[in-house]
Chains A and B, each alone.
Chain A
Amino acid sequence: MSGAAPAIEVRDLRKDFGRFQAVKGVSFDVAGGEIVGFLGPNGAGKTTTIKMITGLLKITSGTVRVEGLDIREHPAAARRKMGYMSQKFSLYPLLTALENIDFFAGISGLAPGERRRHAARIRQDLPEAVLRQKVQDIPPGIRQKVAMFVCLMPDPGIILLDEPTSGVDPEARRLFWNDIYGLKTQGKTLLVSTHNLDEAEYCDRILILHNGELIAAGEPDELLRRQGKADIEELFKDAIHDHGQN
């Protein structure tokens, strides 16, 4: 890593919902241009952490900096650096894919010319007939592609994807990860949460979250070698077990 500020810097991040501690003092960095996988079972605190990074959820304590900007002190400026795709894809089901794209381009303040350029770009990837269908009628894999496209429209340097492959078939998942690699080659930084452990192999680094705590972090191969495990699933199970023992 260079001396420049990390793309995302998280320090002692905590989130309490009443007495329940959803995230318990998590710290990590995401360097510019890397793909970081945020792994953990449902309820581990992945979505809560991502929402705090994007400023969608109030931080109980700790700090989040996006390219050096504190999300609480400079929320608007920090958000402009990020694209976020939520777990539910967040498209309007009664609008067509093209209408969704036009809407999100509009609220991002893109000029009409730029909006047309974006619409032309997605037409290269998806057939016109599909783009003119209501989002509720198109398959999840394509919905996900449209949602990803929407998330990338303001051209952010940092992209946070919350469970982007959940409910998507294996072939669509593989294609989706191809797209993610494509983004990495463009110099984008990606933080991708998933509970599909096999997706760890696509990441430069992984962070394993369990019960709101970060229990392992590093490059997948290095982690496997260090722990003497054959695959991520085994590593994950042991990490959770060891964590439970402590």
Chain B
Amino acid sequence: MGRIKAIIRKEFLHILRDPRSLTLVFIIPLIQIFILGYSVSYDLDRVEVALIDLSQGGTSRQLARAFAASPVFQVRSRSADGGALSPAEAEDMLRQGLVREVIVIPAGFDRLAAAGRRAEVGLIIDGSDVNVANLVYQYSERVILDFNAARMGSAGLLKIGTQMHFNPEARSRFFFIPGLVAVILLMISAMLTSLSITRERETGSLSLLFISPLKSVEIIVGKTIPYIFVALLDGAVILLFARFWFGIPFRGALPVLLAFGLLYIVAGLALGILISTVAPTQTTAMLAALLITMLPSFLLSGFIFPLDSLSPVLRAISYVVPATYFLRIIRGVILKGAELRHFLFDGAMLAAYSLLLLAVAIRKFAGQRKAAQ
């Protein structure tokens, strides 16, 4: 008993005197409960949907108003030039991920309704996120059922025609695997550079680089470029595996994905360099890279929980998570066959993010080198 007591005492002393253990025990669970508490939800709020009214009659307008009045939906029925939204524009918005659903009120809808016949409302739903697609369908169905109930006896009831776009069989694998590619790629990129630099610090070779005539920017660029190729190759291997093992379709153009992937990888590598400026050892660097890349990418990028379901604070945080942008791109290109023009905003954000992170990483690295002088 005395021997066990000695171990117990020693462990308590160790825990109390080791700030890292204390952080692990108390701070991380608090952060987790905070983030998870706000993000573990599939309830959608203000879902963007497009509405095309090809009938332009009294009943169709009433139905459009019913959708607009729903607190769940944010209805877009006008194009950028102020005119009525065309089917092609709505399809483009769906492909781009700007809307989750296109509600189509067909021509002749009002005539059928007035004749007491069953008019059909078309729902074209983005099936790339199966959970969200099911919710969107249920919310839309509720609006239409309420509309039918209000019209009971006055005219024919509306029926729903549904099309699940991009993932007609509603396979959740189609949704998760491209997301996993994005998360893994960021994690690997950050680990590559953070481990490379901390390893050099541990072995002492970083000292030789520091006292060499090399500029800090030369060290960083020289260290980053080989890992861009490694990470790109890694990404290609994961994608091939996803395509041929899991049967995930690849409907878009590979060069588009590569171009955006390159920006995303640079962001990950720069994040790794930043981590290496504060992590003293390879173990710390690896843990930090895992924590910093995986947690936000899983919870705050739209990978598992839709961004529409996040609280405003977490939604704001999601904008600084690089996976938020790349996830839209990879799902769009792989599942929806989206093109370069669909992701100009996400691409610009990724480019800005990568350059900013790289600049901060170089500055911090140079600062660390200068601090020695």
Contacts and interface: CB of A to CB of B under 8 A. Distances in A.
A108 B373 contact: no
A43 to B, nearest CB: 18
Interface string A73-90: 001100110101011111
A88 B213 contact: no
B61 to A, nearest CB: 71
A91 B205 contact: yes
Given A57-B372, A58-B372, A72-B373, A86 B213 contact: no
A112 interface: no
Given A56-B372, A75-B373, A108 B212 contact: yes
A107 B373 contact: no
Nearest to B212: A107
A55 B372 contact: yes
B207 A107 contact: no
B213 A93 contact: no
B204 A90 contact: yes
B207, B208, B209, B213 interface centre (most CB from chain A within 10 Å): B208
Interface centre among B203, B213, B373 (most CB of A within 10 A): B373
A107 B223 CA distance: 13
B371 interface: yes
A-side interface mostly: loop
Given A58-B371, A71-B373, A86 B209 contact: no
Interface residues of A, number: 27
B147 interface: no
Contacts of A51: 207
Main secondary structure of the interface of B (DSSP, over half): helix
A62 interface: no
A76 B205 CA distance: 18
Interface in B195-244: 203-205, 207-214
Report the contact-size class of chain B (Cβ under 8 Å from the partner).
Answer: 10 to 19
A164 to B, nearest CB: 13
A54 interface: yes
A107 B211 CA distance: 11
Given A71-B373, A72-B373, A75-B373, A55 B211 contact: yes
B360 to A, nearest CB: 22
Contacts of B212: 104, 107-108
Interface string A45-57: 0000001001111
A52 B6 CA distance: 43
A55 B204 contact: no
Contacts of A58: 371-373
Given A107-B213, A108-B213, A86 B208 contact: yes
B209 A107 contact: yes
B213 A76 contact: yes
A89 B205 CA distance: 8
Contact of A86 (B207, B214, B372, B373): B207
Contact of A56 (B203, B205, B210, B214): B210
A109 interface: yes
B207 A90 contact: yes
8 contacts: A54-B207, A57-B372, A71-B373, A72-B373, A90-B204, A93-B203, A107-B212, A107-B213
